[in-house]
């Protein structure tokens, strides 16, 4: 009975999209905009995973911390958009500090040790923020309006567009940085073979520290944008960690461009699935999709060893 | 900052409570409670503790609980349940078995209450709870769990009734109305959903959207796109404070136009302070409100309670604090009527409770839920919560339809 009603609803929802395709424009737009933020977090994860062979479960917590930086500064009267650089810088140092304190001790160990260590860190970070600021939901008001297209059937929040553009710019900067700068080259060399990198005189320990800090900084920027476009609370990290994980698995560690494409695709797929199947099947659909993608990629992944290009 | 000060005050209160018996050479009755200090319920756990502590302090200042000519002071023994049900059950067992506590106060949230109720049942220790509204707590035949609050299926059913009334007044058949619902996938919100759907059925209102929101939600644009497409007359959202905040933000971002918007947890999401004009005309379900005209001999009226609470903890009491305070009053009343500290006798006295508190009337039915207190519905009007339903206490007229954002 329940499944019957659900099935009817799914058909109805599909019908809406067929009869009024304008709503799929809305879904795709919202999906792309949210996907851009996922991509940013995933980007950082790919970097750390590829370079250090550390699976960082604290991804989402950096997003949360970045959001809190923006919210706290905005409460002091600063414009939320201007707080993004602060979130980046502060999170860079948080990342650096965490590397020195914890990650440096597990970076050469088994993958599972780093998994456990970062899992522990994420719990500590959630709890610490909860202890200090409480579990309330927080937001920062960017003061930006909404564009209405096609009458009022498609709306685009300007802050989401700003977020999208910033993500693309940040992504571009990172790619150029990794390709061209001395440090970027050192990072790539370390990713390919840490031992060989040490032989040619690269201080891999400091490369690791920088990589980890850059990751935190990127996530901090993502968090700022989440605070302005969505909502933040101390336990909001998990969805971002899970999605960056998925995006990286789909896109692989090798190519930063494909991380962005996978992020945007995931956001869009998720939003359309949420519309058609109902919000509760949004995540289930995405994980289903992951299985399918993995099945197709499996053979290719077996053959090719990937490293950061 | 606020948080830290509140914690300091709570700590001071519990310290005062702990040292009081020693100083006054009085006997004490210890109430045990596992309440969240850490984890996602820590904010509301804090409100719960503040309510318990304030009521205990007021009762103690008035001479304590009198049993057989002896007066007992109330002390409360707290543990942190870390917002996890399994931990809550473990701690309830510890309170009863190791600490020898004979009376329990409830934790915060339905999930935790559901986990603790079987433990109190097993050891035959009465529990008065103030923050577990899920109706599933009251369908298991528990004999030792009593709840002062209205159960969750009543939360937003009143909004559906209001929509039907308004439609009739406007000369429209309620059967032509369409309802959209977005409910978080947790026991509390699913109960609310059941109540809303029941009432919709009763009035013949058609349910066009029935979405379950994931627990980690901060984006519901897919659901809202559906709302834009199907143009329902009523949108009901329930997802604790994150649901309320996300809905208000995205409804204004996406310019969703819906004549009636009703939700829970407006207060704890601070929607007025955070979203200003965007929150206008939202209907909010509440267990209690300070302008209600109930009163008792401990706190006085509802607004007297609110004033005292504000003076003590430096913030206005959310209903979570009010109902928690009421739970302690109920225990005091029952223990005195039982004339004994025997848990079985107190349990029987609890089941016969009939009293008015500043929080509302208390009268438990056979399943232990309070059937004497209705939910209230408030509307954000001009940046303030105004009571709009039920009619008996309504201080303001409901604004309907909600103007286009």
Kindly state whether residues B71 and B122 are assigned to the same domain: yes
DSSP string, A182-230: HHHHHHHHHHH-HHHHHHTT--HHHHHHHHHHHHHHHHHHHHHHHHHHS
Q: Collect all residues from B whose CB is shorter than 8 A from any CB in A.
A: 3, 38-44, 46, 182, 185, 210-214, 216-223, 225-226, 228-230, 241-242, 244-246, 249, 252-255, 257, 268-270, 274-275
- Return the residue in A64, A155, A240 with the most chain B beta carbons within 10 A, the one to mutate for interface testing: A155
The Cα–Cα gap between B318 and B296 comes to: 19
Point out the residues of chain B with pLDDT beneath 70: 1-26, 404-405
Kindly state whether residues B380 and B238 are assigned to the same domain: yes
Domain assignment present for residue B398? The answer is no
User: Beta-carbon neighbour count of residue A85 at 10 Å?
Assistant: 12
Side-chain-side CA neighbours of residue B132 (13 Å):
26
Nearest CA in chain A to B5: A132
Kindly state whether residues B38 and B129 are assigned to the same domain: yes
Domain assignment present for residue B399? The answer is no
The Cα–Cα gap between B184 and B196 comes to: 14
Residues of chain B contacting A27 with CB distance shorter than 8 Å: 221-222, 225
How far, in whole angstroms, is CA A140 from its chain's centroid? 19
Helix (H, G, I), strand (E, B) or coil at B151: coil
Kindly state whether residues B142 and B159 are assigned to the same domain: no
What separation in angstroms does the CA of A187 have from each of A23, B110, B370?
Answer: 44, 50, 64
Query: So what's the pLDDT on residue A112?
Result: 87
Query: So what's the pLDDT on residue A154?
Result: 85
Closest CA to B20 of B65, B90, B55, B72: B72
Domain assignment present for residue B35? The answer is yes
Give the list of residues 6+ apart from residue B113 with CB closer than 8 angstroms, or none. B106, B107, B129, B131, B132, B134, B137, B145, B147
Query: So what's the pLDDT on residue A299?
Result: 66
Kindly state whether residues B185 and B104 are assigned to the same domain: no
Whether B76 and B31 have beta carbons less than 8 Å apart is answered as yes
Helix (H, G, I), strand (E, B) or coil at B67: strand
Q: What distance, in Å, lies between the first and last C-alpha atoms of chain A?
A: 53
Closest CA to A52 of A98, A89, A20, A10: A98
Residue B400: phi and psi, rounded to 5, are -155, 135
Side-chain-side CA neighbours of residue A240 (13 Å):
38
Kindly state whether residues B142 and B189 are assigned to the same domain: no
Kindly state whether residues B382 and B357 are assigned to the same domain: no
Whether A187 and A31 have beta carbons less than 8 Å apart is answered as no
Whether A214 and A222 have beta carbons less than 8 Å apart is answered as no
Question: Which two tokens mark B377?
Answer: 């519905």
CA distance B39 to chain A (A): 7
Domain assignment present for residue B396? The answer is no
Closest CA to A274 of A102, A34, A19: A34
Put simply, the answer to whether B254 touches A136 (Cβ < 8 Å) is: no
pTM of the model: 0.79
Kindly state whether residues B50 and B85 are assigned to the same domain: yes
Closest CA to B206 of B185, B234, B184: B234
CATH number of A2-303: 1.10.3470
Put simply, the answer to whether A136 touches B268 (Cβ < 8 Å) is: yes
The Cα–Cα gap between B198 and B188 comes to: 16
Residue B44: phi and psi, rounded to 5, are -70, -30
Residues of chain A contacting B257 with CB distance shorter than 8 Å: 152
The Cα–Cα gap between A90 and A81 comes to: 15
Query: So what's the pLDDT on residue A2?
Result: 56
Helices A204-229 and A22-52 pack at an angle, to 10 degrees, of 160
Report the phi/psi class of residue B102: left, alpha or beta, with left for phi > 0 and alpha for psi in -120 to 50.
alpha
Residues of chain A contacting B223 with CB distance shorter than 8 Å: 274-275, 279
What CATH number should be reported for the domain holding residue B134?
Answer: 3.40.50.2300
The neighbouring-strand residues paired with B128 are B105, B146
What separation in angstroms does the CA of A122 have from each of A98, A126, A276, B37?
Answer: 11, 6, 33, 18
Sign of torsion, CA B148 B151 B156 B162? negative
DSSP 8-state code for residue B294:
-
How far, in whole angstroms, is CA B312 from its chain's centroid? 21
Residue linked to tokens 């207060």: B267
The Cα–Cα gap between B50 and B27 comes to: 23
What ipTM is given for this predicted complex? 0.82
The Cα–Cα gap between B144 and A10 comes to: 44
Closest CA to B331 of B147, B197, B112: B147
How far, in whole angstroms, is CA A259 from its chain's centroid? 10
Whether B94 and B21 have beta carbons less than 8 Å apart is answered as no
Kindly state whether residues B298 and B322 are assigned to the same domain: yes
Query: So what's the pLDDT on residue B21?
Result: 44
- Return the residue in B87, B218, B243 with the most chain A beta carbons within 10 A, the one to mutate for interface testing: B218
The Cα–Cα gap between B159 and B181 comes to: 12
Closest CA to A157 of A147, A167, A168: A147
pLDDT values of chain A reduced to their tens digit, one per residue, 309 residues = 456 777 887 888 888 888 778 888 889 999 999 999 999 999 899 989 888 888 889 999 999 999 999 999 999 989 999 999 999 999 999 999 999 999 999 888 888 888 899 999 999 999 899 888 887 888 888 878 888 877 777 888 888 898 899 888 988 898 899 889 999 999 989 988 889 999 999 999 999 999 999 999 999 999 999 999 889 999 899 889 988 988 998 887 767 788 989 999 999 998 999 888 888 888 788 888 888 888 887 766 666 555 655
Residues of chain A contacting B182 with CB distance shorter than 8 Å: 279
Kindly state whether residues B254 and B331 are assigned to the same domain: no
Kindly state whether residues B307 and B324 are assigned to the same domain: yes
Q: Would you call B352 exposed, middle or buried from its count of C-beta atoms within 10 A (0-12, 13-18, 19+)? A: exposed
CA distance A297 to chain B (A): 29
Put simply, the answer to whether A136 touches B241 (Cβ < 8 Å) is: yes
Question: Which two tokens mark B3?
Answer: 């948080």
DSSP string, B28-65: EEEEEEEE-SSSTTHHHHHHHHHHHHHHHHHHHHTT-E
Query: So what's the pLDDT on residue A50?
Result: 86
Core vs surface per residue B66-86: b (16+ CB within 10 A) or e: ebeeeebbbbbbbbbbbbbbe
DSSP 8-state code for residue B238:
E
Whether B155 and B238 have beta carbons less than 8 Å apart is answered as yes
Residues of chain B contacting A14 with CB distance shorter than 8 Å: none
Closest CA to A262 of A27, A2, A38: A38
Query: So what's the pLDDT on residue A122?
Result: 94
For chain B, what is the domain count? 2
CA distance B212 to chain A (A): 5
Helix (H, G, I), strand (E, B) or coil at B211: strand
Put simply, the answer to whether A146 touches B222 (Cβ < 8 Å) is: no
The Cα–Cα gap between B50 and B276 comes to: 28
The neighbouring-strand residues paired with B354 are B363
Residues of chain B contacting A279 with CB distance shorter than 8 Å: 182, 211-214, 217, 220, 222-223
Residues of chain B contacting A29 with CB distance shorter than 8 Å: none
Kindly state whether residues B180 and B281 are assigned to the same domain: yes
Owning domain of residue B309: 2-149+291-363
Helix (H, G, I), strand (E, B) or coil at B210: strand
């Amino acid at each position: 009975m329940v499944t019957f009603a659900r099935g009817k609803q799914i058909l109805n929802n599909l019908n809406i999209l067929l009869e009024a395709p304008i709503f799929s424009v809305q879904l795709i737009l919202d999906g792309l905009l949210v996907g851009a933020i996922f991509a940013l977090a995933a980007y950082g994860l790919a970097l750390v995973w590829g370079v250090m062979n550390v699976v960082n479960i604290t991804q989402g917590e950096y997003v949360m911390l970045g959001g809190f930086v923006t919210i706290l500064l905005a409460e002091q009267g600063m414009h939320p958009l201007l707080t993004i650089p602060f979130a980046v810088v502060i999170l860079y140092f948080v990342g650096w500090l965490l590397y020195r304190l914890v990650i440096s001790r597990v970076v050469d160990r088994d993958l599972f040790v780093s998994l456990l260590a970062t899992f522990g860190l994420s719990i500590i970070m959630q709890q610490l923020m909860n202890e200090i600021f409480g579990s309330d939901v927080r937001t920062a008001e960017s003061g930006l309006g909404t564009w209405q297209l096609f009458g009022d059937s498609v709306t685009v929040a300007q802050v989401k567009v700003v977020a999208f553009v910033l993500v693309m710019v940040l992504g571009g900067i990172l790619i150029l940085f990794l390709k061209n700068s001395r440090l970027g080259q050192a990072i790539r060399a370390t990713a390919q073979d840490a031992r060989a990198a040490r032989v040619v005189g690269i201080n891999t320990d400091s490369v690791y520290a920088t990589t980890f800090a850059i990751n935190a900084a990127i996530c901090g920027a993502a968090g700022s944008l989440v605070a302005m476009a969505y909502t933040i609370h101390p336990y909001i990290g998990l969805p971002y960690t899970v999605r960056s994980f998925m995006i990286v698995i789909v896109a692989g560690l090798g190519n930063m461009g494909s991380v962005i494409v996978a992020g945007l695709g995931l956001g869009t797929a998720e939003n359309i699935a949420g519309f058609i199947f109902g919000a509760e099947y949004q995540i289930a659909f995405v994980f289903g999709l992951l299985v399918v993608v993995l099945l197709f990629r499996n053979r290719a992944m077996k053959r090719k060893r990937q490293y950061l290009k | 900052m606020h948080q830290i000060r509140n914690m300091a005050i709570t700590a001071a209160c519990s310290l005062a409570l702990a040292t009081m018996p020693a100083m006054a050479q009085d006997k004490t009755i210890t109430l045990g409670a596992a309440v969240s200090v850490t984890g996602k319920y820590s904010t509301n756990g804090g409100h719960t503790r503040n309510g318990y502590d304030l009521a205990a302090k007021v009762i103690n200042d008035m001479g304590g609980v009198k049993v057989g000519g002896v007066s007992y002071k109330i002390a409360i023994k707290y543990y942190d349940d870390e917002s996890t049900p399994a931990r809550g059950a473990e701690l309830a067992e510890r309170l009863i078995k190791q600490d020898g506590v004979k009376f329990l106060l409830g934790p915060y949230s339905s999930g935790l209450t559901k986990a603790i109720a079987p433990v109190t049942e097993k050891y035959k220790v009465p529990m008065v709870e103030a923050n577990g509204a899920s109706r599933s707590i009251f369908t298991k035949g528990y004999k030792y769990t009593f709840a002062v609050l209205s159960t969750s299926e009543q939360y937003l059913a009143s909004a559906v009734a209001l929509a039907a009334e308004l439609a009739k007044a406007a000369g429209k058949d309620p059967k032509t109305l369409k309802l959209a619902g977005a409910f978080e996938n947790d026991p509390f919100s699913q109960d609310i959903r059941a109540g809303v759907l029941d009432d919709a059925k009763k009035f013949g209102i058609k349910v066009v959207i029935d979405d379950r929101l994931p627990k980690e939600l901060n984006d519901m644009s897919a659901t809202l796109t559906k709302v834009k497409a199907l143009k329902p007359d009523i949108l009901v959202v329930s997802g604790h404070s994150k649901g309320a905040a996300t809905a208000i933000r995205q409804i204004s971002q996406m310019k969703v136009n819906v004549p009636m918007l009703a939700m829970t947890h407006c207060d704890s999401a601070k929607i007025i302070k955070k979203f200003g004009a965007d929150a206008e005309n939202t209907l909010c379900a509440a267990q209690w409100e300070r302008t209600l005209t109930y009163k008792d001999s401990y706190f006085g009226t509802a607004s007297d309670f609110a004033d005292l609470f504000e003076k003590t903890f430096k913030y206005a009491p959310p209903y979570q604090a009010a109902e928690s305070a009421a739970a302690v009053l109920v225990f005091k009343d029952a223990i005195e009527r039982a004339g004994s500290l025997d848990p079985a006798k107190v349990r029987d006295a609890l089941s016969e409770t009939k009293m008015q508190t500043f929080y509302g009337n208390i009268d438990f039915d056979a399943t232990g839920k309070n059937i004497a207190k209705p939910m209230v519905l408030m509307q954000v009007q001009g940046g303030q919560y105004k009571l709009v339903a039920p009619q008996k206490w309504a201080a303001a007229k409901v604004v309907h339809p909600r103007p286009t954002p």
